[in-house]
Homo-oligomer: A and B are copies of this chain.
Amino acid sequence: MRILVTGADGFLGRGLAAVLAEAYPTARRLVLTDLVFAGQAPSGLETIAGDLGDQAFLEQLMAPGFDLVFHLASVPGGLAEREQDLGHQANLLAPLALARAAAATCPGARFVFASSIAVYGNLNGDTVTAETKPMPLLTYGAHKLMMETYLCDMTRRGALSAISLRFPGIVARPINDSGHGSAFMSHIFHRIAAGDVYDCPIPAASTCWWMSRKAAVSILLHAANLAEPIPTVVQPPVLHANLNAVCSAVERITGKQALMRWGNDGNLQRIFGTMPPLDATPALSIGFRADADLDTLAKAALSGD
């Protein structure tokens, strides 16, 4: 088996890379790619640095064929909104070219795509189900939705066996990770653990969808190993909780007191802080799992998992 991870030096990518050799002990090749690699890759893994938007690089990278591709590379939503050309290239044209190259060099390969709950846009308070109609409010979400549509079609005609996973903001990203509008969701873990005052941009009662990197990595691996027939788009289960409840969990895990000042950024709250409940029955029924509870989430987030 030949496996490729894109965006492998990103937050989620590093988490996946850390367990990849263990998850696929008999893999013939385990390849990580990203624009650059800041640190060393886990042992047994090849790293190939380059830009997926560079057609020559892409062709060379993909030429050997991969049976399994985790496509995690992405320009985050806030940055993509400000830098439209960058987002267009990285979040739309590059994934299109990658998916085509994957299909051309290894027809029917499993292609696990990190989509985003940004596809939904303005949720009206009703429980999100498989019937909820996506209406993205950020270019980032529009690109993700376009890629979901594209990959569904490739799967329909057997070019790939693709699964799009709609991830929420994954916690806890490093404090200096930039470009994510949902950065506050990670900051609260780090700030409380450090005993710092945190000026959270939105109110304590704001409800978000939560997932640790550990849970996200398990979900990626589960998607990679699902037997046919596969669902083409999966909304994985998440924890649905307000910021206050998450702060309490962090207090319990760290023994520190949360020193929060709550802001009122209407735009951020509208996009990230008014998430309704989720009915993830379809994903649960095929074995996808969220973090067990908020304490488990907080523990994973703070341990760097």
Question: Which A residues lie at the B interface, using CB under 8 A?
Answer: 88, 92, 96, 100, 131, 133, 135-137, 139, 142, 145-146, 149-150, 152-153, 156-157
A142 and B150 contact, CB distance less than 8 A: yes
Would you list 17 pairs from A and B whose C-beta atoms are within 8 A, ordered by A residue? A88-B100, A92-B96, A131-B133, A133-B133, A136-B149, A136-B152, A136-B153, A137-B156, A139-B153, A139-B157, A142-B149, A142-B150, A142-B153, A145-B149, A146-B146, A146-B149, A146-B150
A146 to B100, CA, bound (A): 16
- A64 → chain B closest CB, angstroms: 22
A96 to B156, CA, bound (A): 23
- A82 → chain B closest CB, angstroms: 11
Q: Which residues of chain B are near A156, meaning CB under 8 Å?
A: 137
Q: Which residues of chain B are near A153, meaning CB under 8 Å?
A: 136, 139, 142
A150 to B92, CA, bound (A): 10
Q: Which residues of chain B are near A149, meaning CB under 8 Å?
A: 136, 142, 145-146, 149
Number of identical monomers bound together in the oligomeric complex: 2
Interface centre among A133, A136, A142, A152 (most CB of B within 10 A): A142
- A260 → chain B closest CB, angstroms: 32
- A261 → chain B closest CB, angstroms: 31
Q: Which residues of chain B are near A137, meaning CB under 8 Å?
A: 156
Which residue of chain B is the closest to A132 with respect to CB atoms?
B133
- A79 → chain B closest CB, angstroms: 15
Q: Which residues of chain B are near A150, meaning CB under 8 Å?
A: 142, 146
- A89 → chain B closest CB, angstroms: 11
Which residue of chain B is the closest to A119 with respect to CB atoms?
B149
**Beyond A131-B133, A146-B149, 10 additional pairs, beta carbon < 8 A:** A88-B100, A133-B133, A135-B152, A136-B153, A139-B157, A142-B152, A142-B153, A146-B146, A146-B150, A149-B149
A145 to B133, CA, bound (A): 13
A100 to B88, CA, bound (A): 10
Which residue of chain B is the closest to A153 with respect to CB atoms?
B142
Q: Which residues of chain B are near A152, meaning CB under 8 Å?
A: 135-136, 142
A131 to B134, CA, bound (A): 11
Which residue of chain B is the closest to A147 with respect to CB atoms?
B146
Q: Which residues of chain B are near A133, meaning CB under 8 Å?
A: 131, 133
Which residue of chain B is the closest to A145 with respect to CB atoms?
B149
Q: Which residues of chain B are near A139, meaning CB under 8 Å?
A: 153, 157
